[in-house]
Amino acid sequence: IYTALGRVPVVGDQVLFEDLQFTVESLAGRRIKKVRVRRTPPPPAEEVEHGKDAARNGNGKRVKP
């Protein structure tokens, strides 16, 4: 979380990694005390781009090169 934010987090900060959403719930000084982790649903089929030129990025969404 620290690396993704590039700073010390505050309560409520969120970080997305692949299909997981991490939310900072509580802190003890500069330390993260509690984090909520949620699995995010995949995008609806109509949002996914189809075609031979489409490639997947690190988030699993299709993008053109």
Q: How confident is the model at residue 59 (pLDDT cuts 50, 70, 90)?
A: low
- What pTM did the predictor assign? 0.63
Q: Where are the domains of the chain?
A: 2-57
35 or 48, greater pLDDT: 35
pLDDT of residue 3: 95
6: left (phi over 0), alpha (psi -120 to 50) or beta: left
In the predicted model, is pLDDT for residue 65 greater than 90?
no
Mean pLDDT of the chain: 82
Identify whether the C-beta of residue 37 lies closer than 8 Å to the C-beta of residue 18: no
Rounded CA separation 41/52 (Å): 25
Please tell me the CATH code under which domain 2-57 is placed: 3.30.465.10
